[in-house]
Amino acid sequence: MSPLSARLIVVSNRLPLALKREDGKWRFEAGSGGLVTAMGPVLKNRGGIWIGWPGNREPIELPLLRQILGPVSEESGYRLLPVILDEGEVENYYEGFANAAIWPLFHDLQTECLFHPRHWEAYGKVNGRFARVAARHSDREDLIWVHDYHLMHLALKLKERAVERRTAFFLHIPFPPPDIFLKLPWRYEVMEGLTAYDFVAFQTMRDRQNFQACLRAFWPSSRVRGRGPVVTVGRDEGDIVVGALPISIDFAHFEALARSPKAVQTCEELRKAHRGRKIFLGVDRLDYTKGILQRLEAYGRLLEGQETLRESVVFIQILVPSREGVEAYSRLRDEIERAVSRINGRYATTGWTPLSFFFRSLPSDELAGFYRAADVAVVTPLRDGMNLVAKEYCACNTDGDGVLVLSEFAGAAGQLAKGALLVNPHDVEGLARTLVAACDMAREEREKRMIRLRRAVRRQDIFWWVDNFLRAAAGRALRDFPPDDLAPLLPRPRERPLA
């Protein structure tokens, strides 16, 4: 790969925006989530491309969509290319196979799994469509970097069309051990798709080892060569490079956000409103993997067993809407709202509401103010690939005086264990005790732990992650993808598309 001509082609299920129709007009909202936070700074002004579904369920003509995305591309600093999905494909590929089969299975929530042949068929069809767009707008010198469980078959679809590309895949969610993975009816086909990539990376060493164990289950002669985070697995069918590379955040960006006027104002308003009380903070996307009900139950146990803490603490839970059309998520929201009502109904006084609940996403600078105001961040997923909220809290804790309560089942626990208070989110009583310990922790101990946390996040930030990923995937660093203009809408003239 020539460093002067290679480009990054990022492919994910969603573009970093959501296209919506209101009052007969199309508009877009900026995307949220870990991938958007991570990849935006990497692609900006490097001539890169981001391919994905714009999130619309209503039909829209492609020329109009390109007209809408053009100015957004200019503002973002990278080209946005849409993949159009119809309502049936969204239902079967996205809500079906990806989020009703793979998502719960890989998070060890097997009772939530739905395995339907129609969903699997749609998954292959949509992966093929993403592959065609990627082939058309790339050439052999580019690196096609595919993200997450929605597109595990993209590289295989390229190979089926005889399209030669260097491909890399990063799984943002956990990868399960064989005893769980083998329950998937299309287990061999999924492994065949993943092994079609030149490089496959995971969040943690545990995830990588689970993948290697599944490789051995299907290809018993496979052998690992090398040591460290990135190794080669030799197979008769061809070698595959696999890695464990934990994703991170732009530390400097979040630290600057925490010092912004809006963040400072929000922080001051929160502290004034809660009158010097200890502020617990939870920030989560609506999902049953996040352990929100267990967390609220633990807070209720704290209030029940620690009368002296009543009226001296408050819990703020921010819940970002997600997959609202899926019945399981609607039920979960109802359960969370009932739990909030029970706690407030039982313990609230005329001058104190123990639990504040926000069901909406917040602008990044306002969210940074919440992070900065929080004395204790409570990040307790039942299972999570990484969880960037934990890292964002540390970066925004510019006073150096916060406490991070972190699930041992979050991928971030591997990097943040020395500074965080690790908990088992299934142990509600233990979690309640840890919340009390966080309240009682001496300032000197809080500062010492936060120094460790901030140092860990700063040292292994998003640019560290990208550099290490690119070195493993393509033998290049981020600086080898130099500043450039926006990529053209059609392939560059030096190569005719093969698909």
Q: pLDDT digit of tens for each residue in the chain (499 aa)?
A: 444 467 889 999 999 887 878 777 787 777 665 567 667 777 877 778 999 999 888 888 878 888 888 888 887 788 889 999 999 999 999 999 999 999 999 999 999 999 999 999 999 999 999 999 999 999 998 999 999 999 999 999 999 999 999 999 999 999 999 999 999 999 999 999 999 999 999 999 999 999 999 999 999 999 999 999 999 999 888 899 999 999 999 899 999 999 999 999 999 999 999 999 999 999 999 999 999 999 999 999 999 999 999 999 999 999 999 877 678 889 999 999 999 999 999 999 999 999 999 999 899 999 999 999 999 999 999 999 999 999 999 999 999 999 999 999 999 999 999 999 999 999 999 999 999 999 999 999 999 999 999 999 999 998 899 889 999 998 877 676 666 555 555 454 444 444 3
From 133, 159, 151, 11, select the one nearest 497 (Cα to Cα).
133
User: Is the full-model pTM beyond 0.75?
Assistant: yes
The fourth-level CATH superfamily of domain 251-459 is Glycogen Phosphorylase B; (3.40.50.2000)
222-247 burial code (b ≥16 CB/10 A, e <16): beeeeeebbbebebeeeebbbbbbbb
DSSP 392: H
Q: What is the pLDDT of residue 69?
A: 85
What the block records as the tokens of 172 is 């943002």
Domain at 8-247+461-480: CATH code: 3.40.50.2000
Residues 6+ away with beta carbon under 8 Å from 53 = 13, 14, 15, 82, 83, 84, 85, 94
Q: Do domains 8-247+461-480 and 251-459 have the same CATH topology?
A: yes
Q: What is the pLDDT of residue 417?
A: 97
Catalytically active residues are: 172, 384
Q: What is the pLDDT of residue 16?
A: 87
Q: What is the pLDDT of residue 216?
A: 95
Q: What is the pLDDT of residue 474?
A: 85
DSSP 66-103: HHHHHHHHHHHTSEEEE----HHHIIIIIIIIIIIIIH
Structural domain boundaries of the chain?
A: 8-247+461-480, 251-459
Q: What is the pLDDT of residue 485?
A: 57
